[in-house]
């Protein structure tokens, strides 16, 4: 059973969840899952957001450690970082396991009455 992180109030984890809490940023992450690395222009294709807007969203993701960028010529290419997303998944897995245990306790309590 996954266990919650020893520090659920970890500021880094809060930044990851905050960064992922925006529909545009989730869309950018999804694109990077499908194909990586991608430029700002490639990431912004079809989005109702300016190139400058996409860049600002990517900066939030980069500051949270969710993506990294490298310069190639005049472009910055973005890649997803596995570690913060894996830690977020483990954190949510721990919460889910705790919820499952709480439901088992509740079921036992109800069945005893």
Residue 27, Cβ neighbours under 10 Å: how many? 17
pLDDT digits (tens, 9 = 90+) for 21-74: 999 999 999 999 999 899 999 999 999 999 999 999 999 999 999 999 999 999
| Residue 12 CB-half CA count within 13 A | 12
Q: Residue 89: how many CA atoms within 13 Å on its side-chain side?
A: 6
pLDDT of residue 7: 58
Q: What is the DSSP letter of 48?
A: S
Look at residue 9 in the predicted model and tell me its pLDDT: 72
Of the segments 3-7, 58-62, 80-84, which one has the largest average pLDDT value? 58-62
- Structural domains of the chain, with CATH: 11-81 (1.10.10.10)
pTM: 0.78
Greater pLDDT, 23 or 93: 23
- Report the chain's mean pLDDT, rounded to a whole number: 88
- Asked whether residue 96 carries a pLDDT value surpassing 50, the answer given is yes
């Amino acid at each position: 059973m996954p266990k919650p992180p020893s520090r659920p109030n970890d500021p880094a984890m809060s930044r990851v969840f905050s960064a992922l809490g925006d529909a545009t940023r989730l869309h950018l992450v999804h694109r990077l899952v499908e194909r990586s690395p991608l430029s700002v222009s490639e990431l912004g294709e079809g989005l109702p957001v300016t190139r400058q807007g996409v860049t600002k969203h990517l900066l939030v993701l980069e500051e949270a450690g969710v993506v990294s960028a490298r310069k190639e010529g005049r472009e910055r290419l973005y890649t997803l970082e596995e570690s913060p997303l894996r830690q977020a998944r483990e954190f949510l897995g721990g919460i889910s396991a705790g919820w499952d245990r709480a439901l088992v306790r509740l079921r036992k309590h109800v069945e005893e009455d």
